[in-house]
Amino acid sequence: MSIYDEPMWASIRDGRWALQRCDDCGETRYPPAPCCPRCLSPASTWTPLSGRGEILSWVFFHRQYFEDYPRPYNVVAVK
């Protein structure tokens, strides 16, 4: 966890999910970062997501790569 993603994890703990949205161009930012990857603006607002999306892909990892994620764990790519 870092200073950039702590608000995201706090929102998940609270039962909702929020991501940074650039105040200048509207780009939703993941992973959280100090500036927008599209326009390089440092201005952003933590914005709750709708909870709707389209699952593009998913996988179950049976090998442990990180101590914080015991195996098996699921990873999902959502549009």
pLDDT at 79: 86
Give ∠ CA 12-16-78 in degrees, rounded to 5: 85
Read out DSSP for 16-55? --EEEEETTT--EESS--SS-TTT----EEEEE--S---E
Of the candidates 44, 11, 51, the one whose C-alpha atom is nearest the C-alpha of residue 36 is 44
Residues of the chain with pLDDT under 50: none
pLDDT at 78: 87
